[in-house]
Amino acid sequence: MGGPRTSIFLRQKKFQFVLVAAVVVFLIVLFPNLYDSEDYEKEYPLLLENEQLVICYESNVDSRKALEIRYTKKVSMFPVGLIGDYGISSPIVRNGRVEGFFDSWPAKRKWPVDMAGFAVSLEYLALSPNATMPFKAGYEEDEFLKSIGLKLEDIEPKARNCTEILVWHTQTKSSKSPTVRISMDRQKLDKLNLGALLRRLESMGVNHISESEGTTAQAIVNGSVKPFSFWFS
């Protein structure tokens, strides 16, 4: 049986509970619109309309990206601007299919993509209950996508077959626009998404294309570096 001290302790706890409850009721009465479900629906419409996707985006993301990735069936991908020595990281698309990647840091990654450059549907993710994203600087995306058993044919290219930039890799430091060396007939690149994508970037001043100067542009296929002639030989 409890003694006087136990009784005092219980009365104190009861008083604290009543006090907290009173404060909550006071706030609800004073600010009836403090939480409004309609406001929540306006702020997170995609999450409520399509529960198959978890969508996280920041102010540096074009709203159209959010609209496009809501229809992701498995894994969708799109270019990310202002990143690396090319000024862009993007899937390489031909005839509506992803066949490789355009990224200045191969690092033997099978999936050389930026964290902001892909979306995964929860329905597809649920097929890989052991999916992981181990902390390994620069390899988180690659390890995660490998852990869910992703295949090239599973990827859905967004942003008009990866010819537009709907997300940017922002930084708080200034840097010069990179020069990318492509020593081949650039018209051939029009058979890939890179033709339109690189013209768009150059017109925006994001990068510059040269036949003799700059970082030599290469492609990545299954973790191996390939020249662009790989697609035209």
Catalytic residues: 141
Is there a contact between 145 and 118 (Cβ–Cβ < 8 Å)?
yes
Is there a contact between 85 and 156 (Cβ–Cβ < 8 Å)?
no
Question: What are the phi and psi torsion angles at 119 (to 5°)?
Answer: -135, 145
Residues 154, 162, 54: CA angle, nearest 5 degrees: 60
State the Cα–Cα distance between residues 201 and 23, nearest whole angstrom.
55
Question: What are the phi and psi torsion angles at 77 (to 5°)?
Answer: -140, 160
| Local structure of 196: helix, strand or coil | helix
Is there a contact between 109 and 85 (Cβ–Cβ < 8 Å)?
no
Q: Which tokens go with 159?
A: 């942003």
